[in-house]
Structure formats: structure tokens, C-alpha cells
Amino acid sequence: MRWIRRNVVVVAGLLTLAYMILPNLVVMVFSFNKPKGRFNYAWQTFSLDAWKDPCGVADLCGALTLSFQIAVWATIGATVLGTMIAFALVRYRFRARGAINSLIFLPMAMPEVVMAASLLTLFLNMGAELGFWTVLIAHIMFCLSFVVTAVKARVMSMDPKLEEAARDLYAGPVQTFVRVTLPIAAPGIAAGALLAFALSFDDFIITNFNAGSSVTFPMFVWGSAQRGTPVQINVIGTAMFAVAVLMVIGGQLVSNRRKKAATP
Amino acid sequence: MTATAAPPAPPTPPVTDAAVRKVPRRKRLVPYWLLLPGILWLLVFFALPMVYQASTSVQTGSLEKGFEVTWHFQTYWDALQEYYPQFVRSLLYAGTATVLCLLLGYPLAYLIAFKAGRWRNLLLVLVIAPFFTSFLIRTLAWKTILADDGAVVGALDALRVLDVTSWLGWTADDRVLATPMAVVCGLTYNFLPFMILPLYTSLERIDGRLHEAAGDLYARPATTFRKVTVPLSMPGIVSGTLLTFIPASGDYVNAELLGSTDTKMVGSVIQSQFLRVLDYPTAAALSFILMAVVLVVVTVYIRRSGTEDLV
């Protein structure tokens, strides 16, 4: 009886996992397709054309570059601002902490459309020109809360005694921060930055409202769903998936080696 | 701060070391300087836009003549009257997707937290990695999976499932694409990781010895699950359902790509009012109603579930 139950959980869990990975497999398989007509939804014949020429579709790689640039700057902006907020919230007691916590929580608890629409009203009222800058502003705004949450979790679990020890050993405030605090907080900051990058790179709704005539990669994919989907989209999707998996495996190897080095 | 206070010292609340130390004025301002840029950013680009949107929603006028604040609250009523089907549908679809996410996500989170052993990291990677392929591309892949002459539709048809779902109004004409079922399937798929990760985090914190203790006290596995595991994973369930329901209720990508005009969600309406029809007051009113509904649902839900420590 117990044996069956145990396996029910495993089977159900693995089925869910299959459900999650199935579309990625489809994307991968269809990157080798040679579609008839404009849409790449039905399998025709095997072909490597799209892999040989990923930028062969007009505007595709331009959109990709734009998304990448925005994601990099948004990550830098949100990570710096978010880390500062996280440190202030964990390390200091001051008035208005509750209000600030809610201000940080709210963007995560708001449907994206609402934020997108309200930002657009602001930009329209200010007469701002929609494009790179408005998208960047928006991305820093919605990534900020996620960075704060990620960094806060790490800083909260940090032992303040380590910094005291550094001070006792005559380290100055700057030295303590650079040599002790920052390295310990680094995994949290890295997690926040990675999250910000992924969120920014993949965002469609807020970007679509505030991009004006600029086209980011998700917007390009959205447009292609109406006009006809080039196979190159699947190539890029597959490549992104592969890069992510390799990065994770690489990170795992590095941390394993560190662990081994740490234990004599 | 006053170490030598009056003899009958009142019971002081525990204060943290940062507050006790007498800090020079310059240092006391440090947290504020740390907060200033980020909070300013949120105030200007998150809070202020909400104010602008509120004011837009009570304006009248047209794009040519310009808009003016006339406190025309009628817009709210009109918008609600015209678009309540989309509202109801959004909440219904998002709610269904959330429940499905919980049902599908719990076993996987449980598997990773308790049964995976050395496969744990691999499984976690497999949960997160699909994320890196742009979510629009993955949603488009569902068009292939659910295609009319595809394997899924064929299997459902052979099992006579489509007859039942058609009778329930979930599907139509022996197809899944362009029906509510496809939209809910896409929503469930897209927001599943948001459910699994918080569930996993809270399950992972549970001490395995509690399960053993329950077993020692002759609780059957089902009882252990109901009385020990579920209550202890409540924070994960609450934050998971919120992280799924809130974005799902405002999403319009799934409804547009996998659905039809009969499955439009409120996000589509806001989007087209804003970007195509250029009727800003109606769009602003709609998005305010959506925000209010979501906030009410979330508040009631948090109250009822009784979990205070959320984030």
C-alpha cells in the first residue's frame, strides 16, 4: 500500500515535469523543420537551414540585440538600487519601514497590464518619447522588487558577528564591506541579478505598452504569431534553453569543486 | 539609550543592537541614503503612474480635442457593463489555472523536496530551465501540441474526453485550440513554476522527523500528509497561489495566442482600448477595476488562510 502511494507521488511529479518540458522539446524539434507557408506549426521535412542562418530573418537579430541591451542595463540598475534597499531594510531600524515594505511588495502583487497601462499614462502625460529609455525605466521598476526580495533573504541569514570580527581586527568600514559583507551577500545579489535579467529579457506586456516603435525580441515573436513564424525563432529559443542549462551545469561544477576544496 | 533610567525600570521591548548604539547623526542618515534612489524610482514610476491613471479614468474628451478631468465616474459603470464577461472570464480562467497549478505542482514540489535525493538539483534545474526559452515561443509551441490533427486532440477524442468537455463548454467542434481549455492549459503551463518554487521552499523546510513521528503515532501516510505536511506547507501554498493567480488574471498573451474572440480576457480589452482604440479613460477605468478586484480577492484570501508571513 505504502509502496504504491510512494510511487503515485513520483509518477505524478514526473508527469508534471513532462508537461513543463514538452513545449521546449517541441521548440527544439521544430527548429529543424522546413515549413510550408508562413507558419511553423506543422512538421514537414528535416532541414538545417535555420541553424545555418539564425539572423536570416529581417529585424530578428536587431530585436534580439535590443532586448539584450535593455536586459543588461535593467539588471545593473535594478541590482544596484535593489541591493541598497535590501541592506537598508535588513540592517537598519527606522521609521516608515512598513510603508517601504509595502511599496516594494505592491509591484509584485499587481497584474502586469495595470502597471503597463499606468506607466503609459504617465509617459503620455509627460510627453516622453516612447522607446529604449521608457522601456528601460519600466524594466528597472518591475525588476527592483524581485532583487530586493532575493538580496534580503540572503542578508537576513548573514551572521553580523562576522562583520564585528572584521572590525575587531581593525578593518575599516570600506574594507569590512568589500572583504566580508559583499562576498557573503554575493550569492543573493547574483540570484537577484539573474532573476532581473530573465524577467527583463522575457517581458512582453509592459514592454509592449511602453516601447513605442522599438521592437524587442518578445515583441518580435508576438508580431510573428500574426504575420508568420520564421523557424529562426525556434533556433533562438533552443539556443537560449541550451545556454541556460549549460550555465546551471557550469555553476554546479564550480560550486562542487569549491566544496571539495573547502573540505580537506 | 538611557542606561541609568528611573529605578523601577519598565519592561523594555527587545531592541536590536543597531538601535541601541548611539550613532552620530551622519550615520543615522545612512539607511535613508541607501533607500533614496530605489524608493524614489518606485514612487515616480510606480506610485505616481497610478495617480495619473486614476485621474485619467475620470476624464472625458477625445484624442483630437484633448482630455479633461470632469469626474465622470460613469466611465467605470459603462466599462463594467460592457466588459463584465471578460472580467468574469479572467477571474474564472485564472482561478482554474491556479487550482490546476496547485494540483500539478504539489506532487512535483513534494517529489523534489523529499524523494529526489541526489537528483534534487537536476530536477530543480529542469523546473527553471524551460523559463529561459522566451515564454512567447513556448506558448506558440502549444499551438503545435494542441493542433487539430495532433496527437493530444486525437487521444482525447479516442478516449471520448472531447465529448464530455464539449458538453461542459470547455471545447468545441472536436478541437482544443481556440477554446477555453487551450487558454487554461496555456495559463497553467506558463505559471506552474511560480507555484512549484514557493511550494518547494516551504516543503523543504519541513523536518523529515515530523513525518517519522507521525508514522510512529500510527498515522497513515494520507493522515500524515493531511495533518502534518499540508499545514506546514501553508505559506508555500498561499504565496504560490498568489504568484499564479495575480499575473494570470491580467495576462492576455495566452488568451490571444491560444484562444479565440470568445475567450478574450480583460487584459486584451485593456490593451486594445489603450493601444488601438485610444480610449484612455475606459482603459484606465478597466485597469483600475482589475487592480481593485485583485487586491480584494488577495486580501480576503490572505485573511482567510491566516498566513501573515508572506514574502
- Using one digit for the tens of pLDDT, what is the confidence trace for A86-96? 999 988 888 88
CB burial of B201-213 (b: ≥16 within 10 Å; e: otherwise) equals bbbeebeeeebee
**What residues of B are in contact with residue A204 (Cβ under 8 Å)?**
135-136, 253
Query: Where along chain A do its domains lie?
Result: 59-229, 230-264
pLDDT of residue A5: 63
pLDDT of residue B8: 47
pLDDT of residue B12: 47
Q: How confident is the model at residue B16 (pLDDT cuts 50, 70, 90)?
A: low
Q: How confident is the model at residue B23 (pLDDT cuts 50, 70, 90)?
A: low
For residue B59, is pLDDT > 50? yes
ipTM for the complex shown: 0.89
Q: Count of CB atoms within 10 A of residue B103's CB?
A: 13
pLDDT of residue A78: 97
> Do A111 and B250 count as a contact with CB atoms less than 8 A apart?
yes
| Average pLDDT value for residue range B90-101 | 96
In DSSP terms, which residues pair with B59 in a beta bridge? B69
In DSSP terms, which residues pair with A46 in a beta bridge? A33
**What residues of B are in contact with residue A202 (Cβ under 8 Å)?**
131, 134-135
pLDDT of residue B10: 45
Max mean pLDDT range (B53-57, B137-141, B164-168): B137-141
> Do A30 and B39 count as a contact with CB atoms less than 8 A apart?
no
- Using one digit for the tens of pLDDT, what is the confidence trace for A12-55? 999 999 999 999 999 999 999 988 888 888 888 898 888 988 88
Higher pLDDT, B159 or B40: B40
Contact of A32 with chain B, judged by CB distance below 8 Å, is answered with no
In chain B the domains, ranked by start, together with CATH numbers, are: 28-69 (no CATH), 75-310 (1.10.3720.10)
Contact of B3 with chain A, judged by CB distance below 8 Å, is answered with no
Size of interface A-B (CB pairs under 8 A): 259
**Average model confidence (pLDDT) across chain A:** 89
Max mean pLDDT range (A3-7, B64-68, B108-112, B222-226): B108-112
Residue of A1, A44, A118, A123 best to disrupt the B interface, most CBs of B under 10 A:
A118
- Using one digit for the tens of pLDDT, what is the confidence trace for A49-82? 889 888 888 889 999 999 999 999 999 999 999 9
pLDDT of residue B3: 42
Which residue in the set B104, B132, B134 is minimally distant from A221, CB to CB?
Answer: B134
Which residue in the set B111, B129, B284 is minimally distant from A117, CB to CB?
Answer: B284
Rounded Cα–Cα distance for residues B291 and A183 (Å): 40
How many angstroms away from the CA of A264 is the closest CA of chain B?
22
Query: Is B211 in contact with B175 (CB distance < 8 Å)?
Result: no
DSSP-assigned states of every residue in B93-148: HHHHHHHHHHHHHHHHHHIIIII-GGGHHHHHHHHHGGGGS-HHHHHHHHHHHT-T
- Using one digit for the tens of pLDDT, what is the confidence trace for A152-195? 988 888 888 888 898 889 888 888 888 888 898 998 999 899 98
Q: Which CATH number fits domain A59-229: 2.170.130.10, 3.90.1300.10, 2.60.40.420, 1.10.3720.10?
A: 1.10.3720.10
**Average model confidence (pLDDT) across chain B:** 86
Query: Is B270 in contact with B57 (CB distance < 8 Å)?
Result: no
Mark which residues 88-107 of B lie under 8 Å from A by CB: 104-105, 107
Contact of A93 with chain B, judged by CB distance below 8 Å, is answered with yes
pLDDT of residue B24: 67
Rounded Cα–Cα distance for residues B56 and B42 (Å): 20
Rounded Cα–Cα distance for residues B111 and B124 (Å): 11
pLDDT of residue B132: 83
Q: Count of CB atoms within 10 A of residue A97's CB?
A: 14
Q: Count of CB atoms within 10 A of residue A259's CB?
A: 9
Mark which residues 97-156 of A lie under 8 Å from B by CB: 100, 103-107, 109-115, 117-122, 124-125, 137-138, 140-141, 144, 148-149
pLDDT of residue A216: 95
Cell output for A145: 522588487
Higher pLDDT, B34 or B304: B34
Q: B133 — phi, psi (to 5°)?
A: -75, 125
pLDDT of residue B220: 86
